[in-house]
């Protein structure tokens, strides 16, 4: 995996092979950040990276100047690796070893961008549960967005979905609160 842009542009990172992860591809990640670059000043936002795995998305935000990044994963090896890279690159990523659903139920922190990349084979009702918890617990700041990466076979029937972008077999679904859109 590599960091696409920012302070650490083109830096290659090699995660341990034993981690149970499927990182977002460089092509999909670049497309996602092209969209986000038009919506936010990265140094002004707070980001929550759910099912963070190797930390691929967190590093990209950090490289682009985001200072408030929280990465949540239940795998100790993933958290350990994110902490190692965050320390090496001085990104200051806050890691939380937790089940994502438990974290979403108990946190009261608001974020501008919440990104979720659940494991392959995730059930459709669990995708919907992420959306439900984010909006029920009002975890997005005004103008904030929840982005869920999923396969083209996952379909959402949700009033908060605003649009989808497809990149190969991956899809990014964007969810916003219509009452707080900027």
Length in residues, the chain: 182
Q: What is the DSSP letter of 40?
A: -
The share of the chain scoring above pLDDT 90, in percent, equals 75
Confirm whether 2 is domain-assigned: no
- pTM of structure: 0.94
Confirm whether 94 is domain-assigned: yes
Q: How far is CA 110 from the centre of its chain?
A: 14
* Domain interval for residue 119: 45-175
pLDDT tens string 100-128: 999 999 999 999 999 999 987 788 889 99
Confirm whether 18 is domain-assigned: no
Confirm whether 40 is domain-assigned: no
Contact call for residues 36 and 64 (beta carbons, < 8 A): no
pLDDT tens string 65-105: 999 999 999 999 999 999 999 999 999 999 999 999 999 99
CATH number at residue 127: 3.40.50.150
| 106, HSE (Cβ side, Cα atoms, 13 Å) | 8
Confirm whether 180 is domain-assigned: no
Confirm whether 16 is domain-assigned: no
Mean pLDDT of the chain: 92
Confirm whether 159 is domain-assigned: yes
Total domains present in the chain: 1
Per-residue pLDDT at 180: 53
* Strands, E assignment, the chain: 46-50, 68-73, 94-97, 111-116, 140-151, 161-167, 170-175
Crossing angle of helices 76-89/56-63, nearest 10°?
Answer: 20
């Amino acid at each position: 995996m590599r960091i696409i842009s920012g302070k650490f542009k083109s830096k290659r990172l090699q995660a341990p092979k034993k981690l149970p992860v499927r990182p977002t591809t460089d092509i999909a990640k670049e497309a996602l950040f092209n969209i986000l670059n038009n919506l936010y000043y990265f140094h002004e936002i707070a980001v929550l990276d759910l099912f963070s795995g190797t930390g691929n998305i967190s590093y990209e935000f950090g490289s682009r100047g985001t200072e408030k990044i929280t990465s949540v994963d239940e795998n100790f090896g993933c958290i350990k690796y994110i902490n190692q890279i965050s320390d090496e690159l001085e990104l200051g990523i806050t890691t939380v070893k937790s089940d994502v659903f438990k974290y979403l139920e108990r946190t009261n922190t608001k974020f501008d961008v919440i990104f979720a990349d659940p494991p392959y084979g995730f059930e459709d009702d669990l995708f919907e549960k992420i959306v439900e918890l984010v909006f029920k617990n009002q975890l997005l700041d005004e103008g904030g967005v929840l982005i869920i990466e999923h396969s083209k076979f996952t379909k959402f029937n949700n009033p908060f979905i605003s649009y989808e972008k497809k990149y190969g077999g991956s899809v990014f679904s964007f969810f916003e609160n219509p009452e707080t859109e900027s």
